[in-house]
């Protein structure tokens, strides 16, 4: 398992994505008990010690020395990831009040609550790097830090909730499973928790689509329409092509990132084709076909100019998402103040009793 992030399904306990997460968790434990090759001690040469820990596939922990750029890269990446979880609650939250049954409503509520939880795990991981959650939230509200471009697309029908689970969460998992092996301990541990929960999200989405695709003609058409709208934005979630990706090479060397954008995108396409066949839905790409030589599917790349426009604020819902987040934050201010006042009053009362 060690040194091979994507183990063959038959090797993985439980198989599939959950198996890969379990394998990453086992590798984390194994690396922790492995002796390093007698490299420098933590007092000898900080930089060499850092490199030695990374080479041995062990984890860097919060109080370890780390290059300033490593710290900055992680803060940027983890914060952006946390913001995405929080903003990502909106497109699905849009359907909680209109879910087609009580069961679907309860499931969707639980899923959106999970997204909030993922945001909190990630903010906590970022805080171990010496930045406060308040600062990060403010950077999001000021538009100085980004979130995933995918959440700037609207959820027009109930089928979109299914497609978000299947394609959007599916793409997120393909991106995130390798992060379970990231070199920074708190991030890797948070990602293991997140990935375990995401696999429920992906399955619930797939089930929604399967039900619709095997329902009435109108329901099937609704499912197909949602797949047509979300397919290319989902492919764009893996970021620009490798040649244009600005942070990749150094993040790979530091083992923050394990696979390139294009490798992950290819892996996602290869996974989805068979899943779409079982749904009886069509992926909207006439050039999608098996390439015997590459042992992978040829596919049409997403429109990266559109990706750049959405990232820079010109997507269909950017303004709406940010307005909503700013309003929710402002309208929640009294709750934070009241809770702090109550805590202060109680601690004063305790001091009075003690005196």
By CB under 8 A, name the binding residues for other proteins. Answer: 41-43, 61-65, 110, 113-114, 117, 120-121, 124, 127-128, 130-134, 189-190, 193, 197, 336-337, 339-340, 342-343, 346-347
Q: Minimal distance in Å, beta carbon 120 to other proteins? A: 6
CA 268 to chain centre: 14
**Which value, to the nearest 10 degrees, does the dihedral of the CA atoms of residues 65, 70, 72, 75 take?**
-90
Please say which residue, 132 or 291, places its beta carbon nearer to other proteins. Answer: 132
Please say which residue, 41 or 316, places its beta carbon nearer to other proteins. Answer: 41
Q: Minimal distance in Å, beta carbon 134 to other proteins? A: 5
Residue 297, beta-bridge partner list: 290
Task: Report the first-to-last Cα separation within the chain, whole angstroms.
Answer: 60
Structure-token pair, residue 192: 């293991």
Q: Minimal distance in Å, beta carbon 127 to other proteins? A: 6
Please say which residue, 34 or 346, places its beta carbon nearer to other proteins. Answer: 346
Please say which residue, 61 or 301, places its beta carbon nearer to other proteins. Answer: 61
Contact (CB, 8 A) for 262 and 242:
yes
Please say which residue, 171 or 190, places its beta carbon nearer to other proteins. Answer: 190
Q: Minimal distance in Å, beta carbon 277 to other proteins? A: 32
Using CB atoms within 10 Å of the CB of residue 33, give its burial: 0 to 12 exposed, 13 to 18 middle, 19+ buried. exposed
Q: Minimal distance in Å, beta carbon 54 to other proteins? A: 15
- Under DSSP, the state recorded for 240 is S
- Under DSSP, the state recorded for 184 is B
Where does the chain have alpha helices with state H? Answer: 16-33, 46-55, 68-87, 89-93, 102-127, 133-141, 158-163, 169-176, 185-213, 217-236, 248-253, 261-279, 304-309, 318-331, 333-354
Using CB atoms within 10 Å of the CB of residue 211, give its burial: 0 to 12 exposed, 13 to 18 middle, 19+ buried. middle
Q: Minimal distance in Å, beta carbon 117 to other proteins? A: 5
Please say which residue, 197 or 225, places its beta carbon nearer to other proteins. Answer: 197
Q: Minimal distance in Å, beta carbon 41 to other proteins? A: 5
Distance of alpha carbon 20 from alpha carbon 13, whole angstroms:
8
Please say which residue, 62 or 154, places its beta carbon nearer to other proteins. Answer: 62
Q: Minimal distance in Å, beta carbon 31 to other proteins? A: 16
Please say which residue, 202 or 234, places its beta carbon nearer to other proteins. Answer: 202
The SS3 call for residue 8 is coil
Number of Cβ atoms within 10 Å of the Cβ of 251: 18
């Amino acid at each position: 398992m060690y040194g091979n992030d994507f183990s063959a399904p038959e090797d993985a306990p439980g198989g599939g994505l959950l198996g890969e997460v379990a394998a990453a968790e086992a590798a984390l434990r194994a690396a922790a008990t492995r002796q390093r090759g007698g490299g420098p001690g933590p007092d000898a040469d900080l930089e060499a010690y850092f490199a030695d820990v990374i080479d041995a596939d062990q984890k860097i922990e919060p109080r370890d020395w780390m290059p300033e750029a490593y710290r900055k890269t992680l803060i940027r990446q983890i914060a952006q990831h946390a913001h995405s979880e929080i903003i990502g609650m909106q497109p699905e939250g849009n359907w909680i009040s209109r879910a087609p049954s009580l069961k679907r409503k309860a499931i969707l509520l639980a899923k959106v609550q999970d997204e909030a939880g993922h945001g909190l795990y990630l903010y906590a991981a970022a805080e171990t790097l010496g930045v406060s959650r308040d600062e990060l939230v403010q950077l999001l509200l000021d538009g100085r830090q980004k979130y995933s471009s995918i959440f700037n697309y609207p959820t027009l029908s109930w089928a979109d909730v299914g497609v978000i689970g299947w394609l959007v969460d599916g793409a997120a998992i393909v991106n995130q499973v390798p992060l379970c092996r990231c070199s920074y301990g708190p991030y890797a541990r948070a990602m293991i928790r997140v990935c375990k929960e995401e696999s429920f999200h992906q399955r619930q989405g797939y089930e929604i689509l399967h039900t619709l695709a095997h329902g009435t003609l109108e329901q099937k058409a609704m499912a197909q329409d949602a797949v047509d709208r979300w397919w290319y934005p989902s492919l764009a979630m893996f970021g620009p092509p490798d040649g244009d990706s600005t942070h990749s090479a150094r993040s790979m060397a530091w083992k923050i990132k394990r696979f390139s954008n294009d490798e992950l995108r290819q892996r996602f396409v290869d996974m989805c084709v068979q899943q779409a066949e079982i749904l009886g839905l069509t992926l909207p790409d006439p050039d999608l076909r098996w390439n015997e030589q590459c042992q992978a599917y040829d596919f049409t790349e997403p429109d990266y100019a559109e990706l750049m426009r959405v990232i820079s604020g010109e997507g269909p819902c950017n303004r709406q998402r940010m307005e909503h987040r700013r309003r929710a934050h402002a309208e929640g201010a009294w709750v934070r103040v009241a809770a702090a006042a109550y805590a202060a009053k109680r601690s004063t009362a305790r001091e009075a009793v003690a005196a």
